[in-house]
Amino acid sequence: MPELTPPVSEQDHREGPDSAPVTLVEYGDFECPYCAQAHEIVKELHKQLGDRLRIVFRNFPLVDIHPYAQLAAEAAEAAGAQGQYWEMHDTLYDHQEDLNAASLTQYAEDLSLDVERFTRELSEHTYATRVRDDFDGGLASGVPGTPTFFINGLHHKGPLDFETLLKAILRAERK
């Protein structure tokens, strides 16, 4: 079974306590419709499990089929540099059908980010390397597409519905 490479670190965007008994890592693409469905499942898992679950998101933009995925990933990173990664992450999934540069700038404005800095960093592709590092880590971990989940470092190969993921997380918690 493929293992997560590299392991979760301070570099990752994490939600939930580092002391949580289970870490759920998602490799996702902000333009992928299956990732949008998974996003809702992850939100519900987090709501039900609370501090027992730490969530990590890593970028895996499938640029051959999703033309705005790379820019959206860079937008999330730019928002993260201003302390609002998860807010932008959620906004991108909520508005998945509208991820062009003008819309991303509007989302930054809606989140009260420094819009001048945000647009400059997007135009300069300041976070392209960060996104590429996530993508390369996904390749090294055997990620076949999006969404792909790892539970406590091990690739989850089962269905991606709420009940199946919840059962897998609870099994990992008992180990």
The predicted structure's pLDDT at residue 86:
98
Q: What percent of the chain has pLDDT over 90?
A: 96
Residue 166's pLDDT is what?
97
Pick the CATH number of 13-174 from 3.40.30.10, 3.40.50.300, 1.10.287.70, 1.10.150.170: 3.40.30.10
- Strand partners for 23: 54
pLDDT digits (tens, 9 = 90+) for 117-134: 999 999 999 999 999 999
Per-residue pLDDT, averaged over 6-23, amounts to 96
Q: Is the pLDDT of residue 1 over 70?
A: no
b/e 111-132 (16+ beta carbons within 10 angstroms → b): bebeeeebbebbeeebbeebbe
2 band by pLDDT with thresholds 50, 70 and 90:
confident
Q: Is the pTM for the entire model greater than 0.85?
A: yes
Q: Render pLDDT for 74-131 as a digit per residue (tens, 0 to 9).
A: 999 999 999 999 999 999 999 999 999 999 999 999 999 999 999 999 999 999 999 9
Which candidate, 148, 122, 123, 124, places its Cα nearest to that of 135? Answer: 148
The full set of domain ranges for the chain reads: 13-174
User: Contact, 111 vs 76, CB < 8 A?
Assistant: no
